[in-house]
């Protein structure tokens, strides 16, 4: 099975530019989209079932999933007591596992948004903890945090640590999530490789590959032996993020 995850920074602009065409070369079975920034529900690619979790606020946030086969079930949001008004999570129940498509909030150097981010992180952990009682979990998406210094272009590290009051909490929350029994699949396969998934739009950062790794596949430990590869599709443009691809034999 091939699963693609991509923060679009706006679905309408990606459709207009034809950004999805190059993805067809990889023949993905599932495409998880974040930051769709629309309440419309267009046909993104023919031959896929489309599932949506829109933000209440138009032209903001939102997630979607495209699958070649109809789902056993789909769930929007996280725990029942957490209000997912920004449409940041959608879960597909597949035959052997749950697949969570997550667009984690950005603290934006704001105390209010930082508090919301911490609440969201806690709700995601509680939700994953509950799902793992039933079957394995794969989580993909934009987590808006780099795990380690290797995940940041060296000259950007000073910018990262300038906000360490935020970053330290977010990195800690991420590690706590992984302690539920999940593995960062890319880092497990490539422990020493620098590769990025997001670049600032300013000053030719992507052309010079001065980026950050903010997009992940987190896989239940018991499924890791089935993971064949994780690839950063850096040659596909259309967003400030590149798509990432997981190949898993399930």
Lowest average pLDDT, out of 6-20, 67-81, 214-228, goes to 67-81
Instruction: Specify whether the CB–CB gap between 215 and 197 falls below 8 A.
Output: yes
H/E element holding 101?
Answer: strand 98-103
Identified catalytic residue from 51, 103, 153, 196 = 103
Query: Is 60 exceeded by the pLDDT of residue 167?
Result: no
pLDDT one-digit tens code per residue, 95-138:
899 999 999 999 877 889 989 999 999 999 999 999 999 999 99
What pLDDT, on the 0 to 100 scale, is given for residue 159?
60
What is the average pLDDT score of the chain? 93
Average pLDDT score over residue span 21-27: 96
Active site annotation includes 103: yes
- State yes or no: pLDDT of 25 exceeds 60: yes
What pLDDT is stored for residue 57 in this prediction? 96
Tell me if residue 98 is catalytic. no
pLDDT tens across 51-73, in order? 999 999 999 999 999 999 988 89
Percentage of the residues of the chain whose pLDDT score is greater than 70: 96
Looking at the predicted structure, is the pLDDT value of residue 202 above 90? no
Confidence at 164, pLDDT banded by 50, 70, 90: very low
Distance CA 85, CA 54 (A): 8
In angstroms, the CA 55 to CA 62 distance is 5
50: β partners: 66
- Choose, from 84, 121, 142, 215, the residue flagged as catalytic: 142
Residues 15, 11: Cα–Cα separation, whole Å: 6
């Amino acid at each position: 099975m091939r699963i693609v995850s991509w923060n679009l920074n706006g679905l309408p602009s990606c459709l207009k530019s034809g950004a999805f065409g190059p993805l067809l070369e990889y023949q993905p079975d599932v495409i998880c989209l974040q930051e769709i920034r629309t309440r419309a529900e267009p046909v993104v690619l023919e031959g896929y079932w489309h599932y949506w979790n829109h933000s209440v606020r138009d032209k903001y946030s939102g997630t979607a999933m495209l699958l070649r086969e109809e789902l056993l079930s789909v769930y929007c949001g996280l725990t029942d007591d957490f209000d997912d008004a920004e449409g940041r999570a959608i879960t597909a129940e597949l035959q052997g596992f749950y697949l969570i498509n997550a667009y984690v909030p950005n603290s934006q150097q704001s105390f209010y948004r930082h508090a919301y981010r911490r609440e969201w992180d806690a709700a995601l952990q509680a939700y994953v903890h509950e799902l793992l009682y039933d079957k394995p979990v794969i989580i993909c998406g934009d987590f808006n945090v780099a795990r380690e210094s290797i995940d940041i272009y060296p000259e950007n590290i000073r910018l990262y640590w300038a906000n360490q009051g935020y970053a330290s909490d977010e990195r800690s929350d991420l590690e706590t999530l992984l302690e539920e029994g999940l593995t960062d699949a890319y880092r497990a396969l490539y422990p020493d490789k620098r590769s990025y998934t997001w670049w600032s739009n300013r000053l030719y950062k992507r052309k010079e590959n001065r980026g950050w790794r903010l997009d992940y596949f987190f896989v239940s430990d018991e499924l890791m032996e089935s993971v064949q590869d994780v690839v950063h599709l850096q040659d596909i443009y259309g967003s400030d993020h590149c798509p990432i691809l997981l190949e898993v034999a399930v």
